[in-house]
Each structure stands twice: as structure tokens, then as C-alpha cells.
Amino acid sequence: MVGRVLFWGEPLTDQGARSFVPIRVLVVDDHKVVRLGLRTFLGLDAELELVGEASDGREAVEMAGRLRPDVVLMDLVMPEMDGLAATVAIRRDNPEIEVIALTSVLEGASVADAVRAGAIGYVLKNAAPEDLHRAIRAAAAGQVFLSPEAAAQLVRQVKAPERPEPLTPREIEVLRLVTLGRANKQIARELGVGEETVKTHVRNILSKLQAASRTQAALHAIRTGLVSSTKEPT
């Protein structure tokens, strides 16, 4: 599943609003100074609650299973187990936990690999505090939140086929709902079709767009105008 794609500076939707229950956050980074900075940042915001700190991927997987945070802030380059492997393990064992890649690495392959691993957000460590706060809130609401640099890198990873096979009208409608954050079951209900039919449409869409994930497909569709809007219909 991919949440609605949010771009830098775009306000959170009503879906991002939640009753005042602090968002439980697990911090994962092998540098003590980074963990200290994040601890201070989280401690200044009543909407956020630090529930634990891990210094490597293996510790992160264990703590995520034990503490069940809402959101994990995950460094990518760490000893023992890197952030990508830890993200895969956390999302496999606890799919309700969302992971944000918080890193200084900005390469197309790194962004795409993080999304494939299951990260719902990709934020650079030099981001402004208010942007990191928005990313955490978005993740807790199931919404994709990417730094503009990461979004651009991810779109570049989707290479347009030399002779692109056009999407059918039904596939375009399915893709539009994917960009709105709908899961397969929700799309099936809205379109009045079976969930397996939706899965087939999604597989065809990914193949035609040469996208590795729903997030890549959604970003590509929005940036190329294949889907004109990610606004909810009124």
C-alpha cells in the first residue's frame, strides 16, 4: 500500500489529523550525536513521543517488535544490519509500523531501494525541523512524504519505455486511486470489482511504467501528468 503522495510544502490532508495521542517514535542511528539531536527535537514537541533509540539495524528490529512505535526514523548506513534490511524486517513483521528513511545519502538507487524496502518517507538529515515534523505526522497517517530531492531521484528511476504501452482507461482510474492512498481492497470497493482484479491492474500498471513500486508509479504519474491531481474529489 502507498499513502497519498505529499510534496514538500503541501499541507497535510484531513486524513493526517488525529486525536491528541502522541505519535510514538523509535530513533535508529549509529551516531550518538544524531540520536541526541533527535531526542532533543522530539522532546520539544508534545505531539511526538520518543519510545526508544537503537544504534544498529538488528537492535532496531528487536525494539520495533517490542515497543511497537507508530513511526521509525531510520538511518540507512549502519553496522551489523543496515537500514534497508532493518526496514524490510520491520515492515514484514509489523506492517502497521511506518518507516522514514532519515539519511544524508541522496542517490537514486538509495531512494528507490528505501521505497522498495517499505519506507513511506525519505528525508535528508539537513531538513528543517518543521519538515521532519510534517514527515512524521504524514507517516503516522499513512501518507508518503519525500524530500524534493528524493522525489526527483525516485522519478528518474522510472525510465520511460522506448515504445510505451498506453494504460487502459481502467488502469488510469486505478492509478489515480493509488495516488490517493487507496489500498487494493478500497479500490475494489470503489470500482465495484474484485480485489484480485485490482491486483492484476496494479501489476500491469507497474509493468507498463517500468516502476518498481506503487510509490514510484504514483510519483511518475503525477509528475508526467498521467494523473492530473491527488486531491480528493469533493
Pairing of strands 71-74, 98-103: parallel
Q: Are residues 141 and 192 in the same domain?
A: no
Q: Are residues 121 and 212 in the same domain?
A: no
- Give the span between the Cα atoms of 6 and 144, in whole angstroms: 6
Give the number of other CB atoms < 10 A from CB of residue 136: 26
Q: Indicate which CATH number applies to the domain containing 209.
A: 1.10.10.10
- How many domains in the chain? 2
Q: Which pLDDT belongs to residue 160?
A: 58
Residue appearing with cell numbers 482507461: 169
Q: Which of 134, 156, 178 is the last residue of a domain?
A: 156
Range of the domain at 209: 169-224
Q: Which of 102, 133, 156 is the last residue of a domain?
A: 156
- Examine residue 49 and state whether it is found in any structural domain, yes or no: yes
pLDDT in tens, the chain (234 residues): 444 555 555 555 544 445 568 999 999 999 999 999 999 999 999 999 999 999 999 999 999 999 999 999 999 999 889 999 999 999 989 988 999 999 998 876 788 889 888 898 899 999 999 999 999 998 888 777 888 888 777 767 655 556 668 899 999 999 988 887 777 888 999 999 999 999 999 999 988 887 767 777 887 777 777 776 555 544
- pTM confidence score: 0.72
